[in-house]
Amino acid sequence: MNIFRLCGDMSHLAAIIILLLKMWKTRSVAGISGKSQILFATVFTARYLDLFTSFISIYNTCMKVFFIGTVYFTIYLIYMKFKATYDSNHDSFRVEFLIVPVGGLAFLVNHEFAPLEIIWTFSIYLESVAILPQLFMISKTGEAETITSHYLFALGSYRALYLCNWIYRYYAEGFFDLIAVVAGVVQTILYCDFFYLYITKVMKGKKISLPA
Amino acid sequence: LSVAYKKDEL
C-alpha cells in the first residue's frame, strides 16, 4: 500500500458516499445515470469474485464488501425507492455498445486465457468506460447539480491517483500491469473535460452548465 | 508485459 493508492481508494470511497448522501438527503436521483451504476455494479461483481477465495487484508476485504454493497444499494435507490425521480429519458446511452466491444477485447487482450483472468480483464476495461452514460446524460441535460459534480470529481480523481500509484509501484517494487495502466489512462482521460469544467466553474461556486 | 503478482488492488 502507498499514499497514492490510499488517497485513490479514499477518493473512490468519498465519491460513493457523496452519491449516497445526495440521493438520501434530496430523496432524488435526478441527474444520476442508472446505467452507469449498473455498469459499476458489473465491474465490482466481476472484479471481486475472489472476495471469498483470496484474502489480501482486512482493509481490502472491507473495501470490496463496501463497494459492492453500496453500488447495489444505489441501484435499488435509482430503480426502486426513488424511481419516480429517475430521468430515464435522458439516461439513454446504449450500454450494449460498451459491453460487447469490452467483452470481446477482454477475450483477445489479457494476461492469461483463464476464466477468472478474462473476467478480471473485462472488469478493468469496463470500468474505464463505465462513466460514459453518466457523462452522456449530463451532456444531454446540459447541466449537473453541484453535488453530482463533486461525485464525478472524486470518482475521476480516484483512477488518476491510481496512475500515480502505478508509477510509484513501478519504481519502488518493479510492479507493472500494462492492462490496468492503459485502461486507467483511458478512464482518466474521459474525465478531463469534466475536470476542466469543475476547476474553472464549480471551484468558483458556479454550476456546471454545458452549452446545450 | 506484467510482473506475475497477486491482485492486491481494489
Tell me the domain boundaries of chain A: 3-201
What is residue A209's predicted lDDT score, i.e. its pLDDT? 84
Q: Measured between CB atoms, which of B2, B9, B10 is closest to A178?
A: B2
CA distance A143 to chain B (A): 31
- When pLDDT is cut at 50, 70 and 90, the band that residue B1 belongs to is very low
Q: Measured between CB atoms, which of A5, A54, A179 is closest to B9?
A: A5
Q: Measured between CB atoms, which of B3, B5, B8 is closest to A60?
A: B8
- What is the distance between the alpha carbons of residues A28 and A77, in angstroms, rounded to a whole number? 9
**Residue A161: partners with Cβ closer than 8 Å, 6 or more residues away:** A4, A5, A7, A8, A11
| ipTM summary value | 0.87
What is residue B5's predicted lDDT score, i.e. its pLDDT? 60
User: Alpha-carbon torsion A168, A171, A177, A182, what sign?
Assistant: positive
Asked if A61 contacts A55 with a C-beta cutoff of 8 angstroms, the reply is: yes
Instruction: Determine whether the interchain pair B6/A54 forms a contact, defined as Cβ–Cβ distance below 8 Å.
Output: yes
- For residue A146, the surrounding DSSP H or E stretch is helix A146-173
- Res B3 pLDDT > 70: no
Question: What is the C-alpha end-to-end distance of chain A, expressed in Å?
Answer: 43
- DSSP one-letter string for A162-187: HHHHHHHHHHHH----HHHHHHHHHH
HSE-CB at A20 with a 13 A cutoff on CA atoms is: 15
pLDDT tens track of chain A, all 212 residues?
999 999 999 999 999 999 999 999 999 999 999 999 999 999 999 999 999 889 999 999 999 999 999 999 999 999 999 999 999 999 999 999 999 999 999 999 999 999 999 999 999 999 999 999 999 999 999 989 999 999 999 999 999 999 999 999 999 999 899 999 999 999 999 999 999 999 998 888 888 887 65
Chain A residues within an 8 Å CB radius of B3: 174-177
What is residue A208's predicted lDDT score, i.e. its pLDDT? 86
Chain B residues within an 8 Å CB radius of A162: 9
The chain B residue lying nearest A64, using CA atoms, is: B10
CA distance B4 to chain A (A): 9
Chain A residues within an 8 Å CB radius of B5: 175, 177
